[in-house]
C-alpha cells in the first residue's frame, strides 16, 4: 500500500540546533575586544546552543493535511522552517521534500514601510513569479485578503495595518501560488472568523491541487476541520503521530494534567 502513496516530505532522524552568539557582558563588544576575539579565533564570548528538534522522523504523503500540535516552544516552527530548507539540519539526519516547500508564518516578513500593493508585488516576486503573473494576480490577492473592505488600505504602508490585516495579506500572497508542500504556521489564527473560514477553504483547495499541507494551529477546531492526521511534538520529540482524533485526545490529557 505504501507503494501507491507518493511521499512528499520525509524526515529521517532530523536534529535542529540554534546557536546564539552574543548576550555578552558590557565592554565585550568594544572594538578592541572584538579584534582580540577575531585574532585569537575564539568564538564570541557566549555561544549557547538550543537543541530545538531532536531526532524527528516521519513520512508525509501527497494529498495529506497534517496538523502539528504541541505546547509553546516545543519546536513546531523550527521543524517547519527546516522542512522549508530555511534552517539547516544537523549532520547524521536529513529532511527531504518534493519541490520547494513554502512556509507561511505569522512573521513572514514583508516590508512595513511599503504599501500593501508593493508588498504584494515583492512577495510574489520572492516566491518566483514573473512580473506578468504578478500583475495578473495582484488584484485577486488584495481582494481575497479583504484589506480594502474598509477603505483603500492597499495603498497605505503596512505599518498602518492591524496585525490581523497584515496576517491576512500575507496569507493571501502565499496562497496565490500552487505549492507542492505548504507549511502554515499559526497564520490563520490572527484573522477574524469570516476570514478564517475563507482561508480554511483555501487550504482545502490547495490540498486538492495535489499538495501536502502542514498546519500549526492552537485552534483545535481548525486542526480537526482540516487535518485527518496529526503529529504531536513536545520538547522537540514526537510524542504521537496518527489520526487527529486520537492524537488530540492524548494531547488533551497531557495538557490538562
Task: Pick the binder of ligand ADP from 9, 11, 14, 52 (CB under 6 A).
Answer: 52
Site string for other proteins, 232-251 (x = CB under 8 A): -----xx-xx----------
Total interface residues for other proteins by CB under 8 A: 69
Question: Quick check: 207 binds ligand ADP (CB under 6 A)?
Answer: no
Task: Pick the binder of ligand ADP from 50, 86, 246, 255 (CB under 6 A).
Answer: 50
CA distance 21 to 32: 18
| Other Cβ atoms closer than 10 A to 148 | 14
CA distance 83 to 97: 7
Q: Between residues 7 and 164, which has the closer beta carbon with respect to other proteins?
A: 7
Instruction: Look up cell 565585550; give the residue.
Output: 28
Alpha carbon distance, N-terminus to C-terminus of the chain: 38
75: partner contacted, choices ligand ADP, Mg ion, other proteins, none (Cβ within 5-8 A by kind):
ligand ADP
State in angstroms the smallest separation of the CB of 218 from other proteins.
20
Site string for other proteins, 53-92 (x = CB under 8 A): --xxxxx---------------------xxxxxxxxx--x
CA distance 83 to 68: 13
State in angstroms the smallest separation of the CB of 44 from other proteins.
6
Are 155 and 163 a contacting pair, CB within 8 Å?
no
Q: Between residues 67 and 70, which has the closer beta carbon with respect to ligand ADP?
A: 70
Containing 17, the helix (H) or strand (E) segment is strand 7-20
Are 6 and 60 a contacting pair, CB within 8 Å?
no
Amino acid at each position: 500500500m505504501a507503494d501507491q502513496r507518493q511521499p512528499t516530505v520525509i524526515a529521517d532522524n532530523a536534529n535542529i540546533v540554534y546557536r546564539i552568539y552574543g548576550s555578552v557582558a558590557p565592554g565585550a563588544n568594544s572594538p578592541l575586544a572584538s579584534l582580540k576575539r577575531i585574532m585569537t579565533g575564539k568564538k564570541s564570548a557566549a555561544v549557547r546552543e538550543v537543541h530545538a528538534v531532536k531526532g524527528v522522523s516521519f513520512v508525509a504523503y501527497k494529498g495529506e493535511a497534517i496538523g502539528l500540535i504541541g505546547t509553546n516552544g516545543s519546536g513546531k516552527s523550527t521543524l517547519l522552517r527546516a522542512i522549508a530548507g530555511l534552517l539547516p539540519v544537523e549532520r547524521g539526519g536529513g529532511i527531504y521534500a518534493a519541490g520547494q516547500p513554502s512556509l507561511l508564518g505569522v512573521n513572514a516578513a514583508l516590508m512595513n514601510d511599503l504599501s500593501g500593493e508593493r508588498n504584494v508585488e515583492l512577495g510574489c516576486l520572492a516566491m518566483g513569479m514573473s512580473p506578468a503573473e504578478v500583475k495578473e494576480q495582484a488584484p485577486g490577492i488584495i481582494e481575497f485578503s479583504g484589506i480594502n473592505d474598509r477603505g483603500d488600505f492597499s495603498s497605505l504602508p503596512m505599518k498602518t495595518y492591524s496585525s490581523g490585516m497584515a496576517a491576512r495579506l500575507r496569507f493571501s500572497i502565499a496562497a496565490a501560488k500552487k505549492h507542492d508542500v505548504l507549511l502554515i504556521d499559526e497564520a490563520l489564527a490572527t484573522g477574524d472568523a469570516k476570514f478564517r473560514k475563507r482561508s480554511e477553504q483555501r487550504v482545502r483547495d490547495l490540498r486538492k491541487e495535489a499538495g501536502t499541507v502542514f498546519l500549526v494551529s492552537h485552534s483545535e477546531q481548525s486542526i480537526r476541520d482540516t487535518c485527518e492526521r496529526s503529529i504531536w511534538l513536545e520538547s522537540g520529540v514526537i510524542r504521537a503521530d496518527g489520526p487527529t482524533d486520537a492524537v488530540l485526545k492524548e494531547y488533551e490529557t497531557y495538557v490538562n494534567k
